Amino acid sequence: MQMLLAGEWVDRAETIDVRDPFDDSLIDTVPSASHDDVETALAAAFAARETARKMTTYDRCRILLRTAAIVAERVEEFATIIAREGSKTIIEARKEANRTVNTLTISAEEAKRLNGETIPFDSFPGGEQRRGHFERVPIGVVLAITPFNDPLNLVAHKLGPAIAGGNAVILKPATVTPLSALRLTEAFLEAGLPGDVLQTLTGHGAVLGDALVSDERVRMVSFTGGLEAGKHITTKAGLKKIGMELGSNSPVVVWKDADIEWAAETCVSGAFWAAGQNCIGVQRIFIHREVYDRFRDLFVERTNAYTIGDKMDETTDMGPMITEAEAERVERWINEAVDKGATVAAGGSRTGTLVQPTVLENVPAEATIHYEEVFGPTVNLYPFDDLDDAIARANSADYGLHAAGFARDVEVCFRLAEGLDAGSVLINDSTDYRLDSMPFGGVKGSGLGKEGVRFSLHEMTEPKVVCWYLPNL
């Protein structure tokens, strides 16, 4: 596919192969953008911010709703692209395509609710003859950088609010999964978005990133990805807004009176969705010692029942990891934990990009898989005796995106909700639940700022005050 630069679909002599991680087959190629392309994109976006700002709310809504309708009409096509270029099974990919329709629809709805307020200037002496208000105005140029694991919906989470807010956008999708983003870009243009308001540049973040991120014409960098790249971007960004949606190693606490069957069922799905390549995937489960064996047995039984392999097969539960290098890293982390004393209760091995869904016990605190984000299909089980101790252990990680607790006792539920340090706490559900309109974002190493359409829209607009001096009032 071509990339969209300054209103034109363009090719480049240097290209990047987009391959299916299941069988390494070539799906397509995309241009590898150069530094000259970055400069062209920045200049075009800076000029296009006027076009974007002047689009009426009616037009922004109409374009967003039409784009949502195009995705809805072609859900199967979008799902197939997501499944082929990424790690998701076709069942998982369909869910993402349908969520994208919702994300774009909410973006249109929220554009209509972008209200200001009147300001009581007479609330301090000297302001008696002043009247005024603030409205929310576009910030100008938004740079959106997205990861591979939700290659369509996480793009919509940036483009939807940016366009709803009247901004020009440069999108830099993940290099391994650019096709979903390019198809969505096509849909926006088909829906009537002026071609220079959105540009989608394909190319390596490590090569193009600094020039994009540090440019003063960009007023906000909205980044979703890993902690390492996120930290790097914050050092380069300079004077501009940044939104950081980073990773996690989400904890779950299972109290002794919980519905153990449900907890095991939903946490297995939460751990292995998208082969664990999920920022809110379950990674660490703390289980009250009285119910530990029962939970472990149910969890292992369900894990062993998983079918892994061909993503396009409707009966496959879990697909491959995004690259063989990533699968090798997860295998290395499992082996390191085992060398340090962990035991494997299920899975533990790898073939090519396929890592078996893996359950570990007795994982020591020194093992990387205990304290780092694994971003793969493995989960650690730990027994506990005391609730406060379990909450403290859950909070001991440097991340805090989602956390979850299972209990029937309402006071225990409240202690979990108040004690777990995360952007969201799920009660009687796994960490792997998100509504696209809710505030979403983490604490500590999981990020800064909030997404979720209304919250992104606020980040991508700013209040502008209009104050009238009326001496004859």
Footprint of ligand NAP on 391-410 (CB under 6 A): 401
Footprint of ligand NAP on 93-152 (CB under 6 A): 145-150
Whole-number minimum distance, CB 265 to ligand NAP, in Å?
24
CA distances to 88, 137, 327, 337, 422 from 348, rounded to whole Å, are: 20, 52, 12, 11, 29
Q: Closest Cα to residue 142, out of 449, 442, 461?
A: 461
**Contact indicator for 296, 254 with CB cutoff of 8 Å:** no
Q: Figure out which of the listed residues 7, 116, 226, 383 binds ligand NAP, where binding follows CB under 6 A.
A: 226
Footprint of ligand NAP on 401-460 (CB under 6 A): 401, 447
For tokens 């020194």, name the residue.
Answer: 366
The stretch among 125-133, 191-199, 242-250, 342-350 that binds ligand NAP (CB under 6 A) is 242-250
Residue 279 engages ligand NAP in binding (rule: CB under 6 A): yes
**Total residues interacting with ligand NAP, rule: CB under 6 A:** 30
Q: Closest Cα to residue 220, out of 106, 146, 143?
A: 143
Whole-number minimum distance, CB 20 to ligand NAP, in Å?
17
Whole-number minimum distance, CB 232 to ligand NAP, in Å?
5
Residue 246 engages ligand NAP in binding (rule: CB under 6 A): yes
**Contact indicator for 197, 7 with CB cutoff of 8 Å:** no
Q: Closest Cα to residue 372, out of 254, 278, 284, 267?
A: 284
Range 298-318 burial, b when 16+ CB lie within 10 A, else e: bbbebbeebebbebeeeebbb
Footprint of ligand NAP on 35-74 (CB under 6 A): none
Asked about 366 being catalytic, the answer comes back as no
The stretch among 21-29, 117-125, 226-234, 342-350 that binds ligand NAP (CB under 6 A) is 226-234
Residue 30 engages ligand NAP in binding (rule: CB under 6 A): no
Residue 209 engages ligand NAP in binding (rule: CB under 6 A): yes
**Contact indicator for 306, 317 with CB cutoff of 8 Å:** yes
Q: Which of 85, 110, 245, 326 is catalytic?
A: 245
Terminal-to-terminal C-alpha distance of the chain: 62
Measured CA to CA, the distance from residue 248 to residue 87 in angstroms comes to: 19
Determine whether 47 is exposed, middle or buried from the number of CB atoms within 10 Å of its CB (0-12, 13-18, 19+): middle
Residue 377 engages ligand NAP in binding (rule: CB under 6 A): no
* Residue closer to ligand NAP (CB basis): 145 or 164: 145
Whole-number minimum distance, CB 18 to ligand NAP, in Å?
11
Q: Which of 279, 326, 331, 459 is catalytic?
A: 279
Measured CA to CA, the distance from residue 5 to residue 42 in angstroms comes to: 10
Whole-number minimum distance, CB 170 to ligand NAP, in Å?
12
Q: Figure out which of the listed residues 206, 417, 465, 473 binds ligand NAP, where binding follows CB under 6 A.
A: 206
What is the chain's length? 473
Q: Closest Cα to residue 246, out of 96, 423, 107?
A: 423
Whole-number minimum distance, CB 109 to ligand NAP, in Å?
21
Asked about 265 being catalytic, the answer comes back as no
Whole-number minimum distance, CB 278 to ligand NAP, in Å?
7
Measured CA to CA, the distance from residue 225 to residue 186 in angstroms comes to: 24
Q: Which residues bind ligand NAP (CB under 6 A)?
A: 145-150, 154, 172-175, 204-206, 209, 213, 224-226, 229, 232-233, 245-247, 279, 373, 375, 401, 447
Catalytic residue numbers, as ranges: 245, 279
